Structure 1
């Protein structure tokens, strides 16, 4: 297994092309490089955002914002496209970008809260923890005044205060699929070049509630 920046849209892919030229088995996770034809295993970002958005909307939230990664981060770009499809008229000022950290989430969510957002969907759990911290620093309760949804369902997210509502990636199923694709390539069997999408699961905990009145 080797990591890399292939999830960044503007990242150079020369070294991945070398892997392809040498017929080295490769499986990409949560991003695809279409022109190289590698098999890929990804969580469906569109479904993830739809689940989170509809959950907040069902609680009465009308001013929903997004805390995403950098503009060239492919999973974040997919989430934004999905949000625009669901919301139809998503204001640009309801989208904030950050580095993937608690501090980044704090800064980005703080801007959204100042713009009147009551529900925040984050592209990772650390970003969501930063959003909760931003709300509290402004004297706003979570979830009484601000609702926050994370992404991943990382370890211990049920132990945070409040326990984090998040969208869980099916990591085990994705991992099995990635290993099967690698084994198939090693055995010389043909593998699909298209991306395999896995459906996430919304896990409702204590960081989301009815939208505040007034």
Structure 2
């Protein structure tokens, strides 16, 4: 094949396809009322998903539903809650309504990478209602969950011990019969660096 015919995936081409996602390491810090959770994001393995999360977190991505503060623009996750917590499994957030049914008003396709498997705890992944239904909801695992492989896009990992301790504390919080924490666990803001 001639060199002019080859498709190259440069940083600028990926940015055009998926949004402004750098090859550099990206970190998201979820500032919660229970402590900070620092997550290393995987833009090289899940570029669309990371671009979506970063854009919603910093308010640069458009969405058609109201955010957790009831506003039509700005940071999407600020003020939202972890609405579903299952000890030994995961903590779930990212729904501006706090019901498990809300989202940004759009959906996008899954991104599965062979290097990313649910074989350990503290993985950040998209919650969905089936293939191609990703929006804003996400979860962090608290144990290996291999039954989720190729069903949910993994796009980050909580790697430091202090953040893992916050995740574990949230995962063991008291919940009602529908797995909702009795005392709200609020994402006060998300900082991207």
Indicate the structure with greater helix content.
1
Structure showing greater radius of gyration is 1
Larger relative contact order (C-alpha < 8 A, sep ≥ 6)? 2
